[in-house]
Amino acid sequence: MRLYSAALSLFSRKVEIALAEKGLAFDRVMVPFTQSAGYSPKHPDVLALNPKGQVPVLVDGDVQLYDSTVILEYLEDAYPTPALYPATPQARAQCRQWELFADEILLAPVRALMHRTGPRPADPQRWLDLEAAAEIAKGQIAQHLAHLDQQLASKAYFCGTFSVADIALFTTVLYSQRLGGPSLKPHRALHAWYTKLQSRTAFAPVIVEIVAADRALSVPVAGAYS
């Protein structure tokens, strides 16, 4: 199996964690990324394998897939043990919904913090405008974190047992933390869940690599990882 990934690609890291949870060996191709040029120039294999030109891309024998959600569903079908989705249709749908919440709803305001790791714009007003938008986004993230915290009041994982929902939500919450988003500490259940996942065998090395990539590639962010 080969995975095209990138050092600071949230969606690729989701797939890396799922592969590790399933105990699947894979060759990893890290595509180039810099804060100033992003993913440009794009890796030629990624351009050939994904019409969107994005990572992650998974190649498993004859199977060539892009999009982290599609890849995770393929991994579950092709390599069902250990399961990363619950058993019943209702619970599986809820789990997929949580993944979408992480990737699209929670990530939307987290994106508004992403300028912080990149080079400062030449125009100081542009920076002030971005930071004003970031402050609004922080309020939205805080509301989402409170909602997630409530969900965990009566269960250890978002879908009862550990699942794709936890992988997706963890990576997006991690990104909120590396970008100086609101602290998790006021949210006791969420903070405990986050701490527990950080020490899982499949998560810990990925987190170490993301922190190292930030040190190597990103502008330091005040309050990051605090």
Ligand X SMILES: N[C@@H](CCC(=O)N[C@@H](CS)C(=O)NCC(=O)O)C(=O)O
Residues interacting with ligand X, by CB under 6 A?
9-11, 39, 53-56, 67-69
CB of 13 to ligand X, least distance (A): 8
| Closest to ligand X by CB, 57 or 152 | 57
CA-wise closest residue to 55 among 26, 32, 84: 32
CB of 53 to ligand X, least distance (A): 5
CB of 192 to ligand X, least distance (A): 27
| Closest to ligand X by CB, 54 or 176 | 54
Task: Read off φ and ψ for residue 203, nearest 5 degrees.
Answer: -95, -40
Neighbouring residues of 16: CB distance < 8 A, sequence distance ≥ 6: 3, 5, 28, 206
CB of 100 to ligand X, least distance (A): 10
CA-wise closest residue to 179 among 214, 136, 133: 214
| Closest to ligand X by CB, 9 or 177 | 9
Q: How far is CA 226 from the centre of its chain?
A: 18
**Gap between the Cα atoms of 82 and 79, Å rounded:** 8
| Closest to ligand X by CB, 9 or 218 | 9
CB of 124 to ligand X, least distance (A): 28
**Gap between the Cα atoms of 73 and 77, Å rounded:** 6
**Gap between the Cα atoms of 28 and 23, Å rounded:** 15
CA-wise closest residue to 13 among 50, 53, 56, 43: 56
| Closest to ligand X by CB, 68 or 172 | 68
The secondary structure of residue 58, as a DSSP letter, is E
Report the residue number whose CB is nearest to ligand X: 54
| Closest to ligand X by CB, 31 or 159 | 31
CB of 179 to ligand X, least distance (A): 14
| Closest to ligand X by CB, 95 or 152 | 95
**Gap between the Cα atoms of 106 and 112, Å rounded:** 11
CB of 132 to ligand X, least distance (A): 25
Q: Is 190 within 8 Å of 158 (Cβ atoms)?
A: no
**Gap between the Cα atoms of 85 and 162, Å rounded:** 8
